[in-house]
Amino acid sequence: MADYIPRPNQKFFDWARNLVTYSLQKFSRWQVPSPQDILKQPLTDFESAFHTYLSPNHGKLDTKHKNDARKVLEKAIRTYVAAYLAHNPLVTDTDKTALKITIYKTVKTRVPVPKTYPRLRVNISTRQHILVYYRNEGSNHRGKPKGVRGIEICWAILDAPPKTLSQLTHLHFGTKAPLDLEFGESDRGKRVFMCGRWEIARKGIKGPWGCIEEAIVP
């Protein structure tokens, strides 16, 4: 299947700008985090580097800055599309056509969409690491419910509890416990807020988000 991201820099920039602009108009209806929090800054950084690169007097360093900024923006977009748009039933085929992203064929599956959510438990015994264990809501046993491929966690370092999930801008996916969130020395002592949801094996179908939990970076 062909990649949905254009290769020429100008087409890539126009496409990325359209994706962010369109998503800003629709994210609330789609019930996903705002692209303002995840994509706006990488888009701004690439736009600046790209305009400098277009200058007739640009040098090798300008080219490197443009390429680096593009890699960051591409990664951010792929993560956002995969996590929130590609298999979101609220994002219609008309939306995907306007976004110019891949439209996947609907595949029936015997595994139902998860209706429960994971309860998180953290271990902070390892310096600069938060190990995240999980169990299904209402279960006394660790691990995933039947038919679930893995768990997706959104998280962020914040000074106060988030008012919305859109503030949890980092994503981490895993199929085996524990999930290992690694931090820098300067992060020690900071508050980390996180939330999880299940994902079944077929086409990345996801369940509801669970409760927001808090931990301190050891």
pLDDT of residue 143: 81
Read off the pLDDT of residues 62-87 as tens digits, 9 standing for 90 and up: 999 999 999 999 999 999 999 999 98
Output b/e per residue, 119-130; b: 16+ Cβ within 10 A.
bbebeeeeeeeb
Separation CA 43–CA 97 (nearest Å): 21
For 166, which DSSP code?
Answer: G
- CATH class of segment(s) 118-216: mainly beta
Question: In this predicted model, what pLDDT tens digit does every residue of 122-170 receive, in sequence order?
Answer: 999 999 999 999 999 888 888 888 878 889 999 999 999 999 888 999 9
- Beta-sheet pairing, 170-174 with 129-136: unpaired
Whether the model clears a pTM of 0.85, i.e. scores above it, the answer is: no
Confidence band of 61 (pLDDT split at 50, 70, 90): very high
Q: Is the pLDDT of residue 3 over 90?
A: no
Q: In the chain, what are the domain boundaries?
A: 9-99, 118-216
Average of per-residue pLDDT across 90-98: 94
Q: Which residues pair with 122 in a beta bridge?
A: 132
The pLDDT tens digits for 183-214 are 999 999 999 999 999 988 666 688 899 999 99
d(CA 41, CA 162): 20
At residue 1, the pLDDT reads: 46
In sequence order, what are the beta bridge partners of 191?
A: 216
